[in-house]
Chain A
Amino acid sequence: MYSLSHNSKESIRSKTGKTLKDITIENIMKGKISADDIKISKEALKKQGDIAKKHGRQQMQQNFNRASELTEVPDELILEIYDKLRPYRATKQELLEMARTLKNQYGAIDCGKMIEESALVYEKRGILKT
């Protein structure tokens, strides 16, 4: 299966559905390729996750699963969530609210779970915003 660029050249798609063949200088000059077209897709990340697991890298697969969920989340929101996860930045309610948004609005179940967990850990360790 690996590497995908070698073995799945035809089938692999970017986040916006472009194939590797579509992404050419010619198409860039024609204005047909935007920055979004060079983002990774959910599916490609899932595949890389499967490859990682097959090689004994369980945690890496979990990371790629969380990443695949985040492909749908806008850049600004990602930066905002990251900032809120830093020490003393968010109340427990804010963290739980963020987890809910990720789960309900973006189907980001694993990311949501990790943030819910962080809310409990931050509470226990006293690093929530007061």
Chain B
Amino acid sequence: MKRSKRFEILDQRPVNKDGFIDEWPEKGFVAMESPYDPTPSIKVQRGMIIEMDGKKREDFDFIDQFIADYTIDIASSQQSMSLDSLDIARKMVDIHVSRKEVIDIVKGLTPAKIIEVVNHLNVVEMMMAMQKMRVRKTPSNQAHITNMKDHPAQIAADAAEGALRGFREEETTVAIARYAPMNAIALLIGSQVGKRGVLTQCAVEEATELALGIRGFTTYAETISVYGTEEVFIDGDDTPYSKAFLAAAYASRGLKMRFTSGTGSEVLMGNAEGKSMLYLETRCIMVTKGAGVQGLQNGSVSCIGIAASVPSGIRGVLAENLIAAMLDLEVASSNDQTFSHSDIRRTARTMMQFLPGTDFIFSGYSGTPNYDNVFAGSNFDAEDFDDYNILQRDLMVDGGLKPVAEEEVIEVRRKAAKVLQAVFARLSLNPITDEEVEAAAYAHGSKDMPDRDVVKDLASVDELMKKGTSGIDIVKALEETGYTEVAESILEMLKQRITGDYLQTSAILDEDFQVISGINDKNDYQGPGTGYRVSKKRWEEIKKIPHTIDFNGL
């Protein structure tokens, strides 16, 4: 065939480098509606669920049983299940129906019934529903702060810049596993230098993550994965019961935490039992709810490549965020992995959460260049800060960030690296040189940073762990080196775990360490004039982009 010039050009477009696959339900390659998804049903006998979605109790796997025993509100379930799915779907977008009314219905539904409800909604309706159903009235944002060298000065500087730009949670992880404590400390200190009250976490293996939290090197946790089929859950080396126990363990140390799940993980791990991705994800969300965890990071997360490859997959991602909100959970709504070569496509994917607002629109937005993102890139990176700020300005939407001045960023980056340098010296960690501090102040990414002596870094951090160094020692080191203000901030962060206020659903802290959560900042959206509105002060922040035409020059 002689090729059409038009088609030749189209074939070269970035979007055609993305991977697409037709629906293949037997292998789970189907976003929201598989012919093998069960039909909703429930039978209760003597206060116990004896049949759910067509399966008898004796045939329950451990996920079914956990959901039946812990998640579904048995008292209201028969009433809720008797409602027509379409009617429930309509209530979700009806501004005359309150959030609470919907929550009270959904708590009695089975997984199959929930997806039947959501399948009635198109994406705009889902966004309308999300606007009402998300827990916290004020939307927020989370950043990834990592780099290929695990360079502590860069982590501190990027954390400080990220905090200044508006992120209220920051998450790091490691290129080399043993760096975890060092990265956690760098993030903890850098974030508070940038802006007070930012929560920080270090995503590593479950037991290590808990240990770092107990030490006081992190202030919350997120990477507690749950899965939608029994076999994959077992492959993930956990069960709903082990995860529920872990949830209680975190709370027992006063630490905020959320679970993680996402569509596509069961397909990726090779056992989807022929169910739709959304059905399996709904089971994950319900395990989270049953464990009494306040929130969930979901939205396909690291499996976005799978969800994005099938028809209606990106709609399915929004659907899973929405289901978490319907179940009254905090939602950190992903947008956190590179999945497309197309700028148009990646922007469209993010608009689903950006426009209605979620508790955390990204989980997270890469506060570093894409190459430094050890979580495998993010959907938006440091290079996209101005695009993001302008999207906020164009649409008068609060996406949680704000434009910042270059000199202010350099200053705060330098300070973060300097403070960390002082703490490292005090705690006998492998020193940070003046040259590294200066590099961190001006760096875009780790290519602009000197190399570290990895062996020395790791030896010094192992020593620190052996000595039993804790968050209190960091406060002490900061005070001893003259950084009293930062010492006070870290101490305030540690004190959060005594009151436990930030264990409540969707909690973040403001710059005065006051908690803003689903209890004292309840989403009350019920149509125009209600819910979250961009305040005058916030609008002034959003509008102030650096490159505008100077009237005087015209």
Chain A residues within 8 Å of B, Cβ to Cβ: 2-6, 8, 12-14, 18, 20, 23-25, 28-29, 33-35, 38-41, 44-45, 47-48, 51-52, 55-64, 66-71, 73, 75, 78-79, 81-83, 85-87, 111, 114-115, 117-118, 121-122, 125, 127
Contacts and interface: CB of A to CB of B under 8 A. Distances in A.
B239 A122 contact: yes
B498 A44 contact: yes
Contact of B242 (A8, A57, A61, A86): A86
A78 B495 contact: no
Given A2-B504, A62-B292, A118-B241, A67 B499 contact: no
Interface in B62-106: 62, 65-66, 69-71, 73, 100, 103-104
Contacts of A73: 252
B62 A121 contact: yes
Interface residues on B, range: 35 or more
Given A82-B245, A114-B244, 12 more contacts: A2-B520, A4-B500, A6-B514, A23-B491, A35-B215, A40-B499, A48-B501, A56-B104, A66-B252, A70-B249, A70-B252, A111-B245
A63 B291 contact: yes
Interface of B: 61-62, 65-66, 69-71, 73, 100, 103-104, 107, 206-207, 210-211, 214-216, 230, 234, 237-239, 241-242, 244-254, 289-294, 328, 470-472, 475-476, 479, 484, 487-488, 491, 494-501, 503-505, 514-515, 518-520
A48 B503 contact: yes
A85 B503 contact: no
A23 B495 contact: yes
Contacts of B471: 35, 38
Given A25-B488, A35-B216, A82-B207, A3 B501 contact: yes
Contacts of A87: 234, 237-239
Contact of A35 (B61, B237, B254, B472): B472
A116 B282 CA distance: 26
B520 A64 contact: no
B271 to A, nearest CB: 14
Nearest to A61: B292
Nearest to A70: B252
Nearest to A45: B500
A96 to B, nearest CB: 14
Contacts of A51: 504, 519
A25 B70 contact: no
A118 B207 contact: no
Contacts of A82: 206-207, 210, 242, 245-246, 249
A14 B496 CA distance: 11
B17 to A, nearest CB: 39
Contacts of B292: 57, 59-64, 66
Nearest to B327: A59
Given A25-B475, A35-B470, A56 B328 contact: yes
A66 B487 CA distance: 32
Given A4-B500, A60-B292, A79-B210, A115 B245 contact: yes
Contacts of B488: 25
A83 B107 CA distance: 31
A63 B244 contact: yes
Contact of B495 (A20, A34, A47): A20
A98 B66 CA distance: 20
8 contacts: A24-B491, A48-B501, A56-B100, A60-B294, A64-B503, A66-B252, A82-B210, A121-B66
B238 A44 contact: no
B491 A28 contact: yes
Contacts of B520: 2-3
B472 A86 contact: no
Contacts of A71: 252
Contacts of A125: 61-62, 230
Contacts of B69: 117
Nearest to A58: B73
Given A57-B328, A82-B246, A2 B501 contact: yes
Nearest to A87: B234
B69 to A, nearest CB: 8
Contacts of A29: 476, 479
A25 B484 contact: yes
Nearest to B246: A82
Contacts of B216: 35, 38
Given A52-B504, A79-B211, A127 B234 contact: yes
A71 B488 CA distance: 26
Contacts of B65: 121
Contacts of B494: 38
B194 to A, nearest CB: 21
Contacts of B104: 56
A11 to B, nearest CB: 11
A45 B251 contact: yes
Contact of B252 (A58, A67, A79): A67
B289 A59 contact: yes
A23 B498 contact: yes
A47 B470 CA distance: 27
A68 to B, nearest CB: 7
A95 B123 CA distance: 46
A80 B533 CA distance: 47
A68 B519 CA distance: 21
B503 to A, nearest CB: 6
B207 A83 contact: yes
A59 B252 contact: no
Contact of B500 (A44, A78, A111): A44
Nearest to A13: B498
Contacts of A18: 498
8 smallest CB-CB distances across A and B, nearest first, come from A63-B292, A40-B254, A67-B251, A70-B252, A85-B242, A66-B248, A118-B241, A59-B292
Contacts of A20: 495, 498-499
A106 to B, nearest CB: 11
Contact of A75 (B61, B103, B214, B328): B214
Nearest to A121: B62
Contacts of A85: 239, 241-242, 245
Contacts of B514: 3, 5-6
B487 A25 contact: yes
